Structures are given as C-alpha cells and as structure tokens.
C-alpha cells in the first residue's frame, strides 16, 4: 500500500512538473525544458532518458514490466514524460521524432488504462488528445 500511495503522489507531482515544462516549451525555452525533462527521468524513474528512448515501441511494455519490474504507476509516469518529450520535439520541428514519442505515450497510456480497469475521464481525454495530435501530424496538418 505504501508503494502505491508513493507512486500516486509522484504522479500528482509529475502533473505539476509537466505543466511547468510545457510552459517552458510555449515560451520557446527549449534548452531549459530539455534539461528539466532529462532530470525528470532520473528523479521519477531512476534511469536516464537514453535508457527509455532506446527501447523499441513494440517491446516497451514487455521490457519495462518483465525485465525491469516496472508497475503501472511507473508506466503512467513514463507516458507523461514521453508526452512532454513529444511536445518539445514538435516545437523544435522534429516531427518524425515527435510522432515516435506520441506513439510511445499513447501505447503506455492505453496499456495502463486497460490494466487498471478503472475508467478515468482525465486519462481518456489525454488519450484522445494524443490520438488527435498523431492524426494531425501524420496527415501533415501541423
């Protein structure tokens, strides 16, 4: 129970943190946003960003759950970090990489939603936002 409460608290803290990063991106402060994201991977998940970025999308959940013992809470945190990473990459004009991180974020978000078997309007909204962004990017709208 303690670990679950701890992870839920981390997810709440992460929401505020991600909002700050998105604010940096909106202001065009990409260097500070990049550094904040790099630090977030280590602070929240105890691994550097390169570790997570190197995992293929098709093996992402399997690798993190089976090989690295990550729980759904960890995956939810990673989904949020990938979302912020995608936003940063889009703002930098790196569309191909942006799509990759949106896809990873979507994959993790949908996996957690399915596994927890709890309906969350907030999570469903986030999933819809990511799906819309992906459709726009893939259709060349953005």
pLDDT in tens, the chain (142 residues): 446 666 667 677 778 888 899 999 999 999 999 999 999 999 888 899 999 989 999 999 988 988 888 888 889 999 999 999 999 999 999 999 999 999 999 999 999 988 887 777 888 899 999 999 999 998 886 5
- Are 87 and 25 in contact, with CB atoms under 8 Å apart? yes
* Spatial CA neighbour of 101 closest among 125, 80, 121, 122: 80
Q: What is the DSSP letter of 70?
A: -
Rounded distance between C-alpha atoms, residue 93 and residue 88, angstroms: 9
Q: Give pTM, 2 decimals.
A: 0.88
Residue 69 has a pLDDT of 85
Q: How many CB atoms lie within 10 A of CB 138?
A: 12
């Amino acid at each position: 129970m303690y670990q679950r409460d701890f992870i839920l608290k981390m997810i709440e803290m992460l929401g505020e943190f991600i909002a700050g990063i998105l604010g940096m991106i909106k202001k065009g402060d990409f260097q500070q946003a990049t550094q904040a994201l790099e630090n977030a991977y280590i602070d929240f998940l105890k691994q550097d960003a390169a570790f997570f970025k190197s995992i293929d999308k098709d093996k992402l959940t399997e690798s993190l759950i089976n090989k690295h013992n990550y729980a759904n809470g960890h995956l939810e945190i990673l989904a949020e970090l990938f979302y912020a990473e995608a936003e940063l990459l889009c703002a930098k004009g790196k569309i191909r990489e942006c799509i990759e991180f949106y896809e990873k974020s979507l994959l993790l978000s949908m996996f957690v939603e399915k596994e927890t078997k709890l309906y969350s309007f907030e999570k469903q909204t986030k999933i819809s936002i990511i799906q819309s962004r992906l459709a726009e990017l893939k259709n060349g709208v953005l």
